[in-house]
Structure 1
Amino acid sequence: MKTLPTFHTVIKGPEGAPWLTFIPGIGNDASFWAQQADALSSQFRVLCFDPWGHGDSPLPPTDCRFDDVVRGVVALWDSLGIQRSGVVGLGFGGSVALALGIDYPQRVERLAAFCCRPRQPDDRREFWRSRQAAVVEQGIDQLADITVDRWLSAQFRASHPEVDRLLRTMMKRTRLDGYLAYVGAFIEMDFSERFQTLAVPTLLVAAEHDHGGGPVEAMREMAAQSPHATLTVIDGVGHICNHEAPAAVERLLKRFFLDQ
């Protein structure tokens, strides 16, 4: 079996508390979920990490596949002695969270998956292939600026410069090999035929104006396939909803994981 690198981790919260793992997405690092992680760290032992080739984590394994990323999270849990954990993810991270729930239900207490799908439609696969070509030609800094401009509206960037700065800095710390590997894993990812086997309590969260990562209709179709999944839609925001509507996301997570 392929040897998987470790991840750089950030852990906070009381020892002995239930674990809650935040899964980062492409171009994200351990700081992507920092606000929500801080909010839940009084009740949970919170685990955040940098993906391979992102932030302070080592480069991904050769020929990195989606299953490698999923197994990498389980290996991280094993190394930390985590038997079970709640899981939160968005975009690619949301897809990883769902795959963990399907493939390792004995390790997942419950999961919250934001703005994601079990498979990229063909047009989205082409979109991501174009991103791979663009980053090779233009470099990660230029692609980061294009990406954040797409993630956030001009009005939001002007009124929330700290969010704009955080996301750009985060993505510009991503190495080329890390970005290409994770995009490649995203393109080949497909667990759509197994989604109906999901038996872990699951909160699906869509964003009203997310038209690529996990559109409302696509997530509504997912919710209909599993009696263990419920869908919530956050109005007025796009794909990066945990940064556009952090208070709303915090409330959803507390309600789901703490029954508050």
Structure 2
Amino acid sequence: MQVNINGIETRYVLSNEGGGPWLTFIHQLGGDLSVWDQLAGYFRDRYTVLRYDLRGHGRTAASGASFGVANLSHDLATLLDTLGASSSHLVGMSMGGMIAQQFAMDHPARVNTLTLCDTSGGTLPEARAIWDQRAAAARKDGMASLVPATLSRWLTAEFQTAHPEAVEQIVDVLTHTLPEGYAMACEALRDFDARGKLGTIRCPTLTVAGRHDTGTPPAATQAIADAIEGAQFELLDAAHLAPIEQPHRFAALLETFLERPV
């Protein structure tokens, strides 16, 4: 399905066979909603599951101007408004986790629970140049130039060998991401820093990291849990895309977390 969100044609998929509470999945930089296919299938019988493509990713149009993570949070709010959802459980991975953090601060009453995977509370000053380099590479050399290094961060060598079909889909999505959309998203992440505000988040929060994540070390994700009162931290045997490498373990963690009494 396509809908115009803040002037941008946005693709989303809504699975509401279960008719239950809303559960929204937000994908990573260089990804699209298909990364959540398996997990969406697991939860759709009990939840109203929403997935969507971020600006300049998948089949969502690129932004005509630069944007920040706050704009991406506003996109999500507008999408939920359009679909008639007053609140949702949020699951965000990597860039999606940054958007979820921002949304929880912008719209605290609309977040039932918060699950943050392989993400950080902000970019350290010394790491800002990395985002500039990735943006420049996308614009100058195209997305294919980013695939080898990205794949080595995202997935362990063992997973890549054991699941070539999953790797092929992830690479295909990354390669077909709009270079300018990717570059502008890099610049949004470069400027994101919620670390001083995480303590204002009051909703139940689960954070999950991959033990072998070199791009976003587990300590960065654990720091989010440390900053949010009562937050839970879990470590999986995976790299950056931990929910994808360990879908059964992640689904079990998420299911338990979503169903626990508040």
State how many pairs are aligned.
257
Alpha-carbon shift at residue 6 of structure 1 (Å): 4.2
1:44 corresponds to 2:47: yes
Q: Assess if the C-alpha contact under 8 Å between 2:156 and 2:238 holds in 1.
A: no
Partner in structure 2 of residue 62 of structure 1: 65
Alpha-carbon shift at residue 87 of structure 1 (Å): 0.4
Q: Assess if the C-alpha contact under 8 Å between 1:25 and 1:90 holds in 2.
A: yes
Alpha-carbon shift at residue 15 of structure 1 (Å): 6.4
SS in 2 for 1:111: strand
Q: Assess if the C-alpha contact under 8 Å between 1:198 and 1:228 holds in 2.
A: no
1:53 corresponds to 2:56: yes
1:257 corresponds to 2:258: yes
Instruction: Give the whole-Å Cα distance in 1 for the aligned partners of 2:157 and 2:205.
Output: 33
SS in 2 for 1:9: strand
Partner in structure 2 of residue 226 of structure 1: 228
Alpha-carbon shift at residue 120 of structure 1 (Å): 1.0
Instruction: Give the whole-Å Cα distance in 2 for the aligned partners of 1:182 and 1:122.
Output: 17
| Structure 1: tracts of 5 or more residues without a match | none
SS in 1 for 2:235: strand
Partner in structure 1 of residue 239 of structure 2: 238
Q: Assess if the C-alpha contact under 8 Å between 1:54 and 1:175 holds in 2.
A: yes
Alpha-carbon shift at residue 147 of structure 1 (Å): 1.5
Instruction: Give the whole-Å Cα distance in 2 for the aligned partners of 1:11 and 1:30.
Output: 11
Alpha-carbon shift at residue 193 of structure 1 (Å): 1.2
1:165 corresponds to 2:180: no
Q: TM-score, normalised by structure 1?
A: 0.93
Instruction: Give the whole-Å Cα distance in 2 for the aligned partners of 1:84 and 1:153.
Output: 35
Q: Assess if the C-alpha contact under 8 Å between 1:55 and 1:170 holds in 2.
A: yes
Does the C-alpha gap of structure 1 residues 73 and 6 become closer, same or farther in structure 2, counting only changes over 3 Å? Answer: farther
- Across the aligned residues of Structure 1 and Structure 2, the Cα RMSD in angstroms comes to 1.8
Consecutive aligned runs of 4 or more in structure 1 exceeding 6 Å deviation: none
Alpha-carbon shift at residue 159 of structure 1 (Å): 1.5
| Superimposed CA distance per residue, residues 56-88 of structure 1 (whole angstroms, 9 cap, x where no aligned partner) | 111124121211111000000011111010000
Q: Out of 80-89 and 54-63, give the one that drifted further.
A: 54-63
Q: Assess if the C-alpha contact under 8 Å between 1:3 and 1:61 holds in 2.
A: no
| Structure 2: tracts of 5 or more residues without a match | none
SS in 2 for 1:8: strand
Instruction: Give the whole-Å Cα distance in 2 for the aligned partners of 1:176 and 1:39.
Output: 32
Identity of aligned residues (%): 29
1:94 corresponds to 2:103: no
1:195 corresponds to 2:198: yes
1:9 corresponds to 2:33: no
Q: Assess if the C-alpha contact under 8 Å between 2:69 and 2:98 holds in 1.
A: no
| Superimposed CA distance per residue, residues 103-130 of structure 1 (whole angstroms, 9 cap, x where no aligned partner) | 2111111110011111112333221111
